[in-house]
């Protein structure tokens, strides 16, 4: 069985004139995917780093089946996002948990970049790399992407 992913809309997309300058002020978007820095009043933020947070929310939701931050009231939801506290079930492999933690970091400077993602052990698939923990699952060591 093949799964297909379809992009519905780019109506909130921002096309950068200069890709190295991605500071934004726009505060629109889906509440469940908003990064903590976007919630700060009167500040600019890195659009790329905010996208990596949203990617972390998407990955968490796809692997676990629910949002990492959830509340019916926006104020409560935004408070949870600002605190950055979520729980990753132990049923995921250490590599999958590490990828999620590397994307859902409150400090945008500490998040993986789009280039870093392809170097992450979870993305370097082999026959033993899976989403769900197996009895032989091992912990992922601290990663240093600066020397890659």
Give the pLDDT of residue 84.
Answer: 94
What is the per-residue pLDDT for 135? 45
pLDDT at 132: 54
**DSSP label at residue 11:** T
Q: What is this structure's pTM? A: 0.79
pLDDT at 136: 45
CA distance 107 to 36: 8
Q: For 105-121, how does the pLDDT look when each residue is reduced to its tens digit (9 = 90+)?
A: 999 999 999 999 989 99
Question: Which residues sit opposite 23 in a β-bridge?
Answer: 46
| Domains of the chain (ranges, CATH numbers) | 30-147 (1.10.510.10)
Strands, E, within 6-126: which ranges? 23-24, 45-46
Per-residue model confidence (pLDDT) at position 147: 46
Query: Is residue 127 packed enough to be buried (19+ CB in 10 Å), middle (13-18) or exposed (0-12)?
Result: exposed
What pLDDT is attached to residue 142?
47
Low-confidence ranges of the chain (pLDDT < 50): 135-143, 145, 147-148
Contact 120, 56 (CB under 8 A): no
């Amino acid at each position: 069985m093949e799964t297909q992913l379809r992009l519905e809309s780019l109506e909130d997309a921002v096309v950068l004139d200069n890709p190295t300058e991605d500071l934004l002020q726009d505060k629109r978007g889906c509440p469940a995917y908003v990064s903590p820095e976007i919630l700060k009043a009167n500040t600019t933020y890195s659009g790329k780093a905010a996208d990596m947070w949203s990617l972390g929310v998407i990955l968490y939701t796809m692997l676990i089946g629910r949002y990492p931050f959830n509340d019916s009231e926006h104020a409560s939801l935004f408070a949870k996002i600002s605190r950055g506290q979520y729980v990753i079930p132990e049923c995921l492999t250490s590599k999958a948990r590490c990828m999620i933690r590397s994307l859902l970091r409150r400090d945008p400077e500490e998040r993986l970049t789009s280039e870093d993602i392809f170097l992450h052990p979870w993305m370097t698939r082999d026959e033993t790399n899976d989403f769900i923990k197996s009895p032989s699952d091992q912990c992922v060591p601290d990663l240093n992407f600066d020397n890659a």
